[in-house]
């Protein structure tokens, strides 16, 4: 059964990373309680300034870094000795300042997706204890990162997350037309990447499976298929400790399997969400003539041409409780949520009778 997970210089009792969920769905409270229960808790960077009390409508990027550090402090108040990290999307305009703020805030692990973090080791130079973990969906993406990092920085990732675009929530690293075709094999990809690390790098690097992991059976299957651990996000939304509003959590409880689908993000990536209000998301910006005020993404069709919708404010509205016009990201298993639980109760279900439990 489950063994402890070591990522770089950090070991957690259980092989579980809590997936990053912006905007403020996984902030300091959830990340802290995940770490307290024996997993890796992640504060998600995207839009962390919104609903923080630090953003005044004009100081978005300054408020982002300050709010990020504030949430890390909150997490460490809950779990002073816990392994607490961050999720920072490469697609964010302030990717570099947020990585630096994470280091200043004491993050022990930095997880990066929504793009390939080619320059991440340079941003963390001087902090060798900070574990670096890219998210990929293919062997090729892992190879590109590893070869760049080895050649330029003489550094390997401390772990790699393999995200399944057919099941994961939020932004997905695959083209829309390739998702759900049945051709993608997540665990074949996990094993390919592990073999690549052993054969080409002479290293045993943990490979973490993300997407579609909901219960103990899913966890045990992932480990049996060669993953060293799992990343779980949607399962922790319906907990008392999740930073989302009660209305956001209720939206999970109310949704059906058929309500979950794909939406094209203005970031140019598909995203998986509860789509019962799909038309209202775009209509909100049309009705309110909402301009791009923050420029939160490096590339954004809404910022550039007004196409689609403002994703950070759509996510913010949902986090605050407006699930009629807000965007509620989720994985394919979100419909399985049937009650509000606690982080510790989920860990007990997943790992009871496991070594270290």
Res 290: pLDDT: 78
**What pLDDT, on a 0 to 100 scale, did the predictor assign at position 1?**
59
The per-residue pLDDT for 146 is 97
Write down the H helix ranges in the chain. 28-37, 60-78, 95-104, 120-123, 139-153, 186-196, 216-224, 246-254, 278-288, 301-305, 311-320, 343-351
DSSP 26-42: SSHHHHHHHHHHTSEEE
Place of tokens 């009871």: 352
pLDDT of residue 17: 98
| CB half-sphere exposure, 101, CA atoms < 13 A | 26
Q: CA–CA separation, 252 vs 325, rounded Å?
A: 15
Quick: pLDDT tens for 328-353: 999 999 999 999 999 999 999 999 87
For range 266-279, the mean pLDDT = 93
The whole-angstrom distance between residue 231's C-alpha and the CA centroid of its chain comes to 9
Confidence of residue 313 (pLDDT cuts 50, 70, 90): very high
Q: What is the pLDDT of residue 355?
A: 52
Nearest to 118 by CA among 79, 87, 144: 144
The predicted structure's pLDDT at residue 322: 96
Interatomic CA distance for residues 13 and 81, integer angstroms: 12
Residue 354: the pLDDT is 56
- The mean pLDDT of 291-314, rounded to a whole number, is 91
pLDDT band at 173 (very low <50, low <70, confident <90, very high): confident
Strands 270-274 and 328-329, by their bridges, are: antiparallel
Q: What is the reported pTM? A: 0.95
Q: Which residue has the higher pLDDT, 238 or 286?
A: 238
What value does the CA radius of gyration of the chain take, rounded to a whole number of Å? 19
What is residue 88's predicted lDDT score, i.e. its pLDDT? 97
Find the mean pLDDT for residues 149-174.
Answer: 95
pLDDT of residue 144: 97
Strands 109-112 and 170-171: unpaired
- Residue 232 confidence (pLDDT): 98
Number of residues that this document lists for the chain: 357
Mean pLDDT of the chain: 95
pLDDT at 237: 98
Report how far residue 129's alpha carbon sits from residue 132's, in angstroms, rounded to the nearest whole number. 9
CA separation for the pair 323, 249 (Å, rounded): 10
Cα separation of the two ends of the chain? 11
Q: Please, are residues 69 and 28 in contact by the beta-carbon 8 Å criterion?
A: no
Mean pLDDT of 141-168: 97
Report residue 292's pLDDT band, with 50, 70 and 90 as the boundaries.
confident
Q: What percent of the chain has pLDDT over 90?
A: 92
Query: Which whole number is the average pLDDT over 292-299?
Result: 90
Q: Taking the mean position of all CA atoms in its chain, how far away is CA 233?
A: 7
Domains in the chain, CATH or no CATH each: 5-243+337-351 (3.20.20.70), 247-329 (no CATH)
């Amino acid at each position: 059964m489950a063994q402890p997970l070591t990522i770089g210089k950090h070991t957690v009792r259980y092989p579980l990373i809590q997936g990053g969920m912006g905007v403020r769905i996984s902030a300091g409270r959830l990340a802290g309680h995940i770490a307290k229960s024996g997993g890796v808790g992640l504060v998600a960077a995207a839009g962390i300034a919104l609903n923080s009390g630090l953003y005044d409508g004009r100081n978005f990027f300054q408020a982002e870094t300050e709010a990020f550090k504030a949430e890390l402090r909150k997490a460490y108040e809950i779990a002073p000795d816990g392994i607490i990290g961050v999720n920072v999307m490469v697609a964010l305009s302030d990717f570099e300042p947020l990585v630096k703020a994470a280091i200043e805030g004491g993050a022990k692990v930095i997880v990066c997706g929504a793009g390939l973090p080619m320059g991440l080791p340079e941003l963390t130079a001087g902090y060798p204890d900070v574990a670096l973990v890219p998210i990929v969906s293919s062997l090729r993406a892992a190879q590109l990162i590893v070869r760049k990092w080895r050649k330029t920085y003489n550094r390997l990732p401390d772990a790699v997350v393999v995200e399944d675009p057919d099941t994961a929530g939020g932004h997905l690293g695959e083209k829309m037309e390739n998702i759900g075709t049945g051709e993608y094999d997540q665990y074949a990809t996990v094993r390919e990447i592990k073999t690549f690390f052993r054969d080409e790098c002479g290293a045993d690097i943990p490979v973490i499976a993300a997407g579609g992991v909901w219960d103990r059976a899913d966890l045990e299957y992932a480990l049996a298929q060669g993953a060293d651990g799992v990343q779980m996000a949607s399962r922790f939304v319906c907990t008392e400790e999740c930073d989302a509003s009660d209305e956001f959590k209720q939206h999970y409880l109310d949704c059906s399997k058929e309500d979950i689908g794909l939406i094209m993000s203005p970031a140019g990536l598909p995203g998986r969400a509860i789509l019962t209000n799909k038309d209202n998301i775009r209509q909100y910006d049309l009705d309110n003539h909402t301009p791009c005020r923050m420029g939160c993404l490096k590339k954004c069709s809404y910022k550039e041409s007004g196409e689609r919708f403002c994703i950070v404010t759509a996510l913010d509205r949902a986090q605050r409780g407006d699930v009629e016009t807000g965007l509620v990201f989720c994985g394919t298993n979100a419909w399985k949520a049937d009650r509000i639980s606690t982080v510790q109760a989920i860990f007990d279900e997943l790992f009871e009778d496991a070594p270290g439990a």
